[in-house]
Amino acid sequence: MAFRTIIEPFRIKSVEPIRWTAPEERAQYLRAAHYNLFLLPSEQVLLDLLTDSGTGAMSTAQWAGIMRGDESYAGSPSFDRFKAAVQGIFGYKHVIPTHQGRAAERILFSVMCKPGVIVPSNTHFDTTRANLEFAGAEALDLPVPEARQPGFEAPFKGNMDVARLQQLLERERGKVPLVMLTVTNNSGGGQPVSLENARQVSELCRRYGVPLYFDACRFAENAWFIKLREAGQADRTPREIAREMFRLGDGCTMSAKKDGMANIGGFLCTNDDVLAQREKNLLILTEGYPTYGGLAGRDLEAIAVGLEEALDEGYLRYRIASIAYVVDRLAQAGVPTVRPAGGHAIYLDARAFLPHLTPAQLPGVALANELYLEGGVRSVEIGTLMFAAAAQLDLVRLAIPRRTYTQSHMDYLLEVILAVFARRDKIRGMVIEYEAPFLRHFTARLRPE
Ligand code: F0G
């Protein structure tokens, strides 16, 4: 295209007002929320970048699908359309719908893990780690070394450390029931996994007889990065790339709230008939009958359409460009971020942003709170509060909901971050006053030091 500006590839048919708040009001709201942004009512938030999960805008075609949804308890044609869409991309034999990603994780780990086993990943996300630990398994992160250096530019910082995986599989024979690859690597900065890395991991898994599962939440963004950055991939479609990647595995878990472009939903896939039967039995017990699994027929339709839309090149080009736009401008101003830009979010490096705070003083939480006070922006800490001792980094993630905010929202966000950066020396650390036994970040109560 001849023009430099990448525009939003949609026009807006339905709008949702944003509620303004004054700085004094925000200080009061934050105190009432015990300095935990999860505890804020969303009406008190101006730009809600807490998550890209379930917060996107659906298309007219998805809303049309919502009306077409068939709500039969068993054998709904909406399930057939959902299954066909999933199989067209992922290619696995069994497709098991769940109400969201973590339900797929819980079912998978319930049937595959027993206490004492080890499940490696490039980096497990919080719910995946918690579900594994709940099943008595050890969740082991094996990212490539460059993933731990936020400012270091490399094309595939989401990759798994293949040498360490091999050592693990050799040393712990019989103790690793599955290997997981998270695409893109959310906790590691939304960084992609290359096809080459997935091939090597897959080969090792085959050699040691261990199944490989993808945590596929952001598969379309990952495929786009492969197209842009991996040798020999530029002429392929994101769909072809995704299909090749999933052929390397035995199944996947998926949260359709991300690259399914839906507000709710997920699924679990496997090629293993015996496992699928056990998974479906568990599904019936806690989620629902296998042709809806915790979702309404209309949700299945929205996901079937959304999966295709997520692979649209015009959409992916715009999405990745708008995130890179923010990251590039922050870099020019000297603000430390994870580089290069990730697929679904901007990640501020809170340890480098607030070098006067130790990880125990929760720099990510302190920074996230300041972004809220400054401009009403809600983000999430991915660091010591979320992962305790397992935290490798302290990041603040500004997740961009799909098709929801515009370029001027991104410019506003930049102004807010730069205003906080200008007064960073004065930002104090945080202290935890209450914490739950697992996934403590959701409900913790805190206070400034
Ligand atoms: N795996 C990854 C990589 C995720 O990012 C998430 C959710 C899940 C699994 C679980 O899916 O929410 O549908 O149960 N991540 C959201 C986030 C919550 O904000 O990144 P879910």
| Cα–Cα dist 300/297, whole Å | 5
| Three-state secondary structure call for residue 204 | helix
Tell me the residue ranges of DSSP E strands in 90-136.
Answer: 94-98, 118-121
How much is the CA Rg of the chain, to the nearest whole Å?
21
Pairing of strands 395-399, 118-121: unpaired
| Cα–Cα dist 449/433, whole Å | 11
| Cα–Cα dist 417/447, whole Å | 22
Q: Residues, the chain, total?
A: 449
Closest-CA residue, ligand 1 atom 18, reads: 53
Residue 218's contacts (CB-CB under 8 Å, 6 or more residues apart) are: 183, 184, 186, 190, 258, 259, 343, 344
| Token pair listed for 81 | 């359309």
Pairing of strands 380-382, 47-48: unpaired
| Ligand 1 touching residue 395 (CB < 6 A) | no
Measured in degrees and rounded to the nearest 5, phi and psi for residue 395 equal: -115, 155
Q: What is the pLDDT of residue 5?
A: 87
| Cα–Cα dist 436/164, whole Å | 32
- Burial of residue 382 (number of CB atoms within 10 Å: 0-12, 13-18, 19+): buried
Residue 152's contacts (CB-CB under 8 Å, 6 or more residues apart) are: 146, 339
Owner of token pair 């699924």: 267
For ligand 1, mutation pick of 55, 255, 257, 263 (most atoms within 8 Å of CB): 255
Residue 3 CB neighbour total at 10 angstroms: 6
| Ligand 1 touching residue 182 (CB < 6 A) | yes
| Three-state secondary structure call for residue 211 | coil
Q: What is the pLDDT of residue 4?
A: 85
Report CA(101)–ligand 1 centroid distance (Å).
6
Q: Tell me the DSSP string of 216-274.
A: -TTHHHHHHHHHHHSTT-TTS-HHHHHHHHHHTSSEEEEETTSTT--SS-EEEEES-HH
Pairing of strands 212-215, 179-182: parallel
Q: What is the pLDDT of residue 1?
A: 60
Q: What is the pLDDT of residue 386?
A: 92
Q: Say if residue 270 is preceded by a cis peptide, omega within 30 of 0.
A: no
CB distance 295 to 264 below 8 Å: yes
Q: What is the pLDDT of residue 302?
A: 98
pLDDT tens-digit profile of 126-185? 889 999 999 999 999 999 999 999 999 999 999 999 999 999 999 999 999 999 999 999
| Ligand 1 touching residue 128 (CB < 6 A) | yes
pLDDT tens-digit profile of 7-49? 999 999 999 999 999 999 999 999 999 999 999 999 999 999 9
Q: What is the pLDDT of residue 188?
A: 82
Task: Provide the edge-to-edge strand list for the sheet that holds 345-349.
Answer: 345-349, 395-399, 380-382
CA distances from residue 2 to 88, 127, 230, 308, 325 in whole angstroms, order as listed: 34, 44, 25, 27, 19
Report CA(225)–ligand 1 centroid distance (Å).
20
| Ligand 1 touching residue 217 (CB < 6 A) | yes
Residue 443 CB neighbour total at 10 angstroms: 13
Show the low-confidence residues of the chain (pLDDT under 70).
Answer: 1
| Cα–Cα dist 439/437, whole Å | 7
| Ligand 1 touching residue 342 (CB < 6 A) | no
Q: What is the pLDDT of residue 61?
A: 98
CB distance 184 to 224 below 8 Å: no
| Cα–Cα dist 402/213, whole Å | 25
Q: Which atom of ligand 1 is nearest to the CA of 256?
A: 13
Q: Which atom of ligand 1 is nearest to the CA of 215?
A: 1
